Chain A
Amino acid sequence: DQQVKQNSPSLSVQEGRISILNCDYTNSMFDYFLWYKKYPAEGPTFLISISSIKDKNEDGRFTVFLNKSAKHLSLHIVPSQPGDSAVYFCAASAMDSSYKLIFGSGTRLLVRP
């Protein structure tokens, strides 16, 4: 059941450049999308979210874009820093399903100094 997909298992970016992480979904009932950052042996840390009524949400260096027609969202990190190196998970939820989160498989981001 691949309702949320992150097709790039890894991404390597130079410090100071933009990191773009992508996520696709198939369930049109999803109405809330989140990005989490995760280090090994730790819990997911909430980064940023977007409601389906918006197409962009920005918080500091992090911006999430939502394209509902394409069922696609992306996370932009500008400028990237070495401390951003982690696994990033995209997650989606629907109001009519107790807001349970459906996670993608994650993208490992490496920011090179």
Chain B
Amino acid sequence: KQEVTQIPAALSVPEGENLVLNCSFTDSAIYNLQWFRQDPGKGLTSLLLIQSSQREQTSGRLNASLDKSSGRSTLYIAASQPGDSATYLCAVPAGRRALTFGSGTRLQVQP
């Protein structure tokens, strides 16, 4: 059974810092990996989708990498802003095509 782990569980940084969020998964036979953002009490916003054949995917200040063989992905946020404060979740497809989620990293960017 696929298990997804995210570290750290929480992170607080001053505005302007570059930061890295980590995601690991136990079964490397994945089709893709997706990063989401969740604001408190809200739904999920898709940030980046990396296919298994890709190593990196970029969107604005966000860069996600994928190393299937080691079962790891990172989300790099450049020049963090207070508006980036949210919980970040990674997820991989599981049986029946739904997603298995990590427990998330709660990010607070201090102005």
Whether A associates with B in a native complex is: no
Q: Name B residues whose Cβ lies closer than 8 Å to a Cβ of A.
A: none
Q: Name A residues whose Cβ lies closer than 8 Å to a Cβ of B.
A: none
